[in-house]
Structure 1
């Protein structure tokens, strides 16, 4: 057996074991990824000590690049949650869109909120608003719920600073500003689809929420304005995009230097967090603030440890040489290179259910191949992100959160609510990514 064949077989075995561990074992994804990295290197013929070194280097490098970003992101999400900013934003979008456009307003509300908060808690937090709108306007709760869920999916899956996209971008070394812009753009057709699909779904499942929304005068008075509520999210996005634009103009001025510093993702997100803490939380008890930020750190630790473990696997794939071998094989086969991360993410999503795990594992496996294949790192990241949308069903926690909230118990209704629209979005995004790959090269 040649060393080339041995390395490819080793990677295949490691992926099969990894998938088994993710689906069947009691081990968490972090341990599963580390085991996958060890198997890839050792079965591929690497010296065991070099495999361990590669894991440590990959883990450390990824953590140093992304750890602070992820922590800041989840802490911003906690600030928005504790302060009531999410509800404030939702009500503002409903008011701006006006009567008759509640479904579109829910899509936009979900998008903005899930930039900083994971889609499941963002959906749960905003669903009472959907129930109140359903009760007042006699709009189907299925239509409003799916519109909200679709908006959350858009940003959660495609647009930094949401943790999945920013984690994938970090592993692929993709430009975050470019990722924000293109991720937002390719999500627009999906959002349009969700708007019309939700309206159609409302004619099929017509249940109206009859629950009264409970809100005290005190909580209403202390809720921050929509403009202030949006700034912890808007500030980082604007600074990162502005820095990217100014760097391309090459003005060489003091202003450009200042914005290049302020637009560094860590600085930009840190400023967004500070703004949120010292504006949105001024009227919140100090102990509650400290507790909320501690919870954010705990949640962030789980995420960035998983991302760092993915980086460890990626570095082993890189050091073993198997990434380069597969990349050269794909290049010779004539298969569109962009399909590699897309297909792997799709398979991982179908097998184990978690979109975030699909994105990060795909990025870890394919990042060593990206530059060899000439794929733009942003498109490679988005290909993994879009692949992770495929057919959400029983092994996806978001599937259950949505259907439980709406009250859908029939499997057919559950599939119509979420499995079908996510698959359509997967197809829409896949076509968009393929077309873009014809024009954008790495």
Structure 2
């Protein structure tokens, strides 16, 4: 049975990564070869299948991912992220400090990948916590909720971007619907959950945590940083460009307007790759040249950003290879046949499969890519909204982060928590994001 072979592959992946401490990319390639053989893919076609999966996934993602990493790095190195955070903290005031952290983390989370945003914001959260004498977890839960939601639901983050590419979904629609789902999810999983967590594990809110492992952080005098307006505009420019193009395309369809050169130009500018390139060029000016930073230093920041994402790109490529093996080996068709005639929504099915794989594998991106390979064949049988399937897969891939996920250990160490406290805060937080996300996706499905 194909599903038994997939199960053996997943167990083998767990043993290689957790037992033998093998690199995730290497483990994925080994398992891809093994599963391909077991599924009966002809020996002469196995390497071609793996190359197709790896190349197809990275071909769509590398441009957006690479440009996005550079954009985030420029905003961070110029002090734009610090300006956004501190301005909002000052504007919201002490009483509404949690909301200031949520809004700042959400804006920064759109531009920066989860790990980068976390490393950048944690020192700021610790500083605010000391100054206002509030618990670091009181601010840390809303911060990580916002970062995690943007990471799971919004392009140009790797998960939603790569799933959209694989399923052929409109990335602008994914972004637009992602925002609609992300905002209420952040509110419930952030400030609202922080109150509940305080009752579940009150002792965790007395911990002081430690960020010594982050080393010396680059700090700026506020007057040395770009203005708040410029910083927010630069961070959100790709979102603005993609959203405008998507809204205009949706209006064109609704109103039945004939296609013309102006609409084609808007679509071109709103394409994920084009909008990321335009945003990066704007950031080179606003975060660099306009502040009299030599172009050599600006390019140095871009080079550093790319060197940091090299392994992550390979891991995503490895996930793409595994996904292709499942498709070419007929596993996707087998799953499609199993659920033929079922009343179960493809949205719910994508979420369930992604959730099971996430709990098993730890990696949200690998779980999402493997899910794509399993659900893709059945999507032709339905008229389901592909953007919502992308978001459901992303939501499922966030659930129940535990000991096989790097995020679990980062959260535990930075906030100085015990294992029990980390499960009651971080693991529960990620599960709430996943479940609330699914709930809002199913609600949105009634209207779009």
Give yes or no for TM over 0.5: yes
Q: Which residue of 2 aligns with 1:387?
A: 396
| Cα drift, residue 155 of structure 1 | 0.3
Q: What SS does the corresponding residue of 2:20 show, helix, strand or coil?
A: coil
1:197 to 193, 199, 204: 193
Q: Deviations over 1:375-400 (max 9, x none)?
A: 43222222221112222233322223
Taking a change above 3 Å as real, the CA distance of residues 310 and 210 of structure 1, as seen in their structure-2 partners, is closer
CA separation in 2, counterparts of 1:47 and 1:438? 44
Q: What does the per-residue CA deviation read over 1:79-131, in whole Å, with 9 as the maximum and x for residues that have no partner?
A: 11211111111112223333411101111211221222222231221122222
Report how far residue 144 of structure 1 moved: 0.6
Q: Which residue of 1 aligns with 2:282?
A: 275
Give CA-to-partner distance per residue, 1:204-247, whole Å, 9 cap, x none.
35549799xx9999743321112111223322111112112223
Q: How many residues align?
A: 432
Q: Hey, what's the Cα distance between the residues in 1 that align with 2:265 and 2:185?
A: 36
Question: Equivalences for 1:93-104 in 2 at 5 Å?
Answer: 93-104=88-99
Write the distance in 1 (CA, Å) between the matches of 2:300 and 2:77. 10
Note the C-alpha offset of 1:287. 4.7
Instruction: Trace 1:279-298 onto structure 2 (pairs within 5 A).
Output: 279-282=286-289, 283-298=292-307
What is the 5 A alignment of 1:17-416? 17-193=12-188, 194-201=190-197, 204-205=202-203, 206-207=205-206, 219-248=221-250, 249=252, 250=257, 252-282=259-289, 283-372=292-381, 374-408=383-417, 410-416=418-424
Q: What is the CA deviation profile of residues 133-167 of structure 1, one whole-angstrom value per residue up to 9, with x for unaligned ones? A: 22333322210111111111110111111222212
Contact 2:32 2:325 in 1 (8 A): yes
Normalised by the length of structure 2, the TM-score is 0.87
Is residue 2:433 matched to residue 1:430? no
Distance change in 2, residues 1:400/1:16 (3 Å): closer
**Aligned pair in 2 of structure 1 residues 357, 92: CA closer, same or farther (>3 Å)?**
farther
Inter-partner Cα distance in structure 2 for 1:62 and 1:201: 38
**Compared with structure 1, are the counterparts of its residues 312 and 99 closer, same or farther at alpha carbon in structure 2 (3 Å cutoff)?**
same
5+ residue gaps, structure 2: 211-215
Shift of 1:51: 2.5
CA distance in 2, matches of 1:59, 1:337: 25
**3-state SS of 2:380 partner:** helix
Aligned CA RMSD, in angstroms, stands at 2.8
Query: After the TM superposition, which of the residue ranges 128-137 and 379-388 deviates more from structure 2?
Result: 128-137
Deviation, structure 1 residue 285: 5.0
- Aligned partners of 2:218 and 2:268: how far apart in 1? 43
Shift in alpha-carbon separation, 1:387–1:117, aligned structure 2, 3 A = same
Alpha-carbon distance, 1:413 to partner: 2.6
5+ long unaligned stretches in structure 1: none
Corresponding residue for residue 213 of structure 2: none
User: Does 82-91 or 286-295 show the bigger shift?
Assistant: 286-295
Q: 1:419–1:348: structure 2 CA closer, same or farther, 3 Å change rule?
A: same
Q: Is contact 1:19–1:348 with CA below 8 Å preserved after alignment?
A: no
1:23/1:92 Cα in 2 relative to 1: closer, same or farther (>3 Å)? Answer: same
- Partners of 1:238 and 1:427 lie apart in 2 by 28
Q: Is the CA contact 1:73–1:163 (under 8 Å) kept in the aligned structure 2?
A: no
The answer on whether the counterparts of 1:314 and 1:368 sit within 8 Å (CA) in structure 2 is no
Contact kept, 8 Å, 1:103 with 1:198, in 2: the verdict is no
Alignment CA distance shift 1:221-1:60 (3 Å): same
Offset at residue 301 of structure 1 (A): 2.7
Distance in structure 2 (CA, Å) of the matches to 1:391 and 1:256: 43
